[in-house]
Structure formats: structure tokens, C-alpha cells
Amino acid sequence: MSFFNRDTTFGATFIGFAVSSVCFGVLSTQAFTYLKRYPLDRPFYKALVAALWVLECIDQAFIAHAIYFYVVTCATLVYCFPHQCLMLFWQAISGAIVKSCFAMRVWRFSNCNVFVTGLIMVLTLAQLGMLFSSALDCMHVPCISNRGRLVVGSLSLGLGVATDIVTAAALCYFLRKLRTGYSQDDSLVNTLTLYAVNTGILTSAVSLCTLILYDLMPDNFIFMAFYFVLSKLYANSFLATLNTRKIVRGRGTDGEHTTMPTFLMVGKVTRQEENYDPGATTVRIQPP
């Protein structure tokens, strides 16, 4: 580092920690809301929510420890320590879980399209592997500002951007094909499409900013401020998908039935059951 600027190094990481703390607080609220609002959801989904919360809690603890270590304990050092690089593992696992769940949404909305779903999963697993490799390489870099040879970090961030874009585009395309011509059904499709676009844009924008700052500003840690927040945005987007089922659908939980279109808000195609009204179908609202 040619010039040690505390504002763009420790200052940037502290801001990132503050924002990520807010995001973690939102995540905790969403997790609590989910458990209270959907007590009849399958144990698998409850365990998935708990796992995401635990992973993000561990990640936040590692971020806090790193900030304290570099700002207080060793305020004049900018060296890497192996345990600080471990936060990449937690973020990688959390992000991969969420992206895999969104891939399953694409699988269900697309009526089991192997190619598109497979592409998303390949990108997700490739990024997971790249992040693990980046974490291992980070442990061998003596100075955290010396990232010139960590090309794998750029590749992993680029794969993250590509995954978000492909997922959002696929959801929009397959949701559009679910239009029925009925205003109530199409209104639900439009809402889901808008949500998919907004989620994809947000995570893609943060990933892209992290990638650009990582490559173009090697002498500061501004990219860390964005990266600290990224995995929590993924987790929050997944929890928001689960928690907004009642709002989007108007009513319903796992144990309730309603006459709605033949697809679920989160994308699981269900078997049609004929009622007295032959034009109605009974579905069960479930998470992805």
C-alpha cells in the first residue's frame, strides 16, 4: 500500500460492518417472523432458515472480530491472519444455499427445465469453489492490500453477478409464460416478476460494485464494505420470499387451502383438484 489512508481502509470496513449489522438485525427479525407466521411449514424449511441465521451470525462475529483486531489490537498493521480469511467460508456457504433455493424456484416455474436450472447450479457451485479457493489463497497473502495475484477473487465475484442475472432473467421469462389472461392471476404473476427483478437487481448491483472496487481500487478496502453486506442481502431476500406469502396471496399458510391459480407464489406446481366450481383449483401454499 503506497499510502495508508485510514478513511478508505479501516473507515470503509467500519461502515461496511455497521451496514451489515443492520442487515443482520433485519435478518433476525425476518427469521423470528417466519417461525411465528408459518408454524406449519415443513421442518426442512425451518432448519434451512435456522442454518442461514447461524451462518450469518458466525459471519458477523468474524467481521466484528476482524474490525476490532485491525482497528484496536493492531491499529498500525495491514497484514492478513488466517482466521480472518475464514469469514469467506461462511459467506460462500450461505450464498450458495440461497442461490440453490432460487434455482429450485426456476426448476418449478419452468416445469423442470434441466438446462436453465443446471446452468444456475453450475454457476453457483463454481462460485462456491472459487470462494473457497480465494479464502485459501488469502491465508498466504502477507498484506491484505496486496491482492494483485488473487485473480480467483475477481472470478468468484464475476460468477456471482452472472448467477444473479441468469436467475432473475429465467424467473421473469418463465413467470411470463404462466399468464392466464385473468386479471387476478396475471396480477400475481406481475407481482412475482417485479419481486424477482428487484431482488436480482439489488444483489447483482452490490456484487458488481464489489467486483469493480476490488479490481480498480487495490489500495483500499472500500470493496469490503459492499462484500460484508452481500451475503446478508441474499439471506434476507430468501427470508422475504418466505414471509411475503400471505401478503402476496392475500391469505394462506401451509395448512390452509384457497382457490387460486394452478401455481404457487414461490413456484411449486401442484396437482389440480376439482371443486364444485370446475374453474377453480385448490392449492397449498408452500415455500420454494
261 found inside a domain: no
**Number of domain units in the chain:** 1
266 found inside a domain: no
84 found inside a domain: yes
Does the pLDDT value for residue 6 go beyond 80? no
Nearest to 201 by CA among 168, 244, 236, 239: 168
pTM for the full model?
0.78
265 found inside a domain: no
> Contact 138/152 with Cβ under 8 angstroms?
no
Secondary structure of 145-213 in the HEC alphabet?
CCCCCCHHHHHHHHHHHHHHHHHHHHHHHHHHCCCCCCHHHHHHHHHHHHHHHHHHHHHHHHHHHHHHH
Name, of 13-22, 104-113, 266-275, the range with top average pLDDT. 13-22
Does the pLDDT value for residue 29 go beyond 90? yes
Average pLDDT over residues 79-102: 80
Average pLDDT over residues 247-252: 52
pLDDT band at 275 (very low <50, low <70, confident <90, very high): very low
Does the pLDDT value for residue 142 go beyond 70? no
Does the pLDDT value for residue 263 go beyond 50? no
- Residue 106 has which C-alpha cell? 426456476
273 found inside a domain: no
Q: Can you give the CATH number for the domain in which 164 is found? A: 1.20.1070
Name, of 39-48, 51-60, 263-272, the range with top average pLDDT. 51-60
24 found inside a domain: yes
Burial of 276 (0-12, 13-18, 19+ CB in 10 A): exposed
Does the pLDDT value for residue 159 go beyond 70? yes
Q: What is the pLDDT of residues 183-202, one digit of tens each?
A: 666 777 777 777 777 777 88
- Residue 253 has which C-alpha cell? 399458510
Per-residue pLDDT, 267: 40
Give CA–CA dist 127/67, Å, rounded.
Answer: 26
**What range defines the domain where residue 199 resides?**
10-256
104 found inside a domain: yes
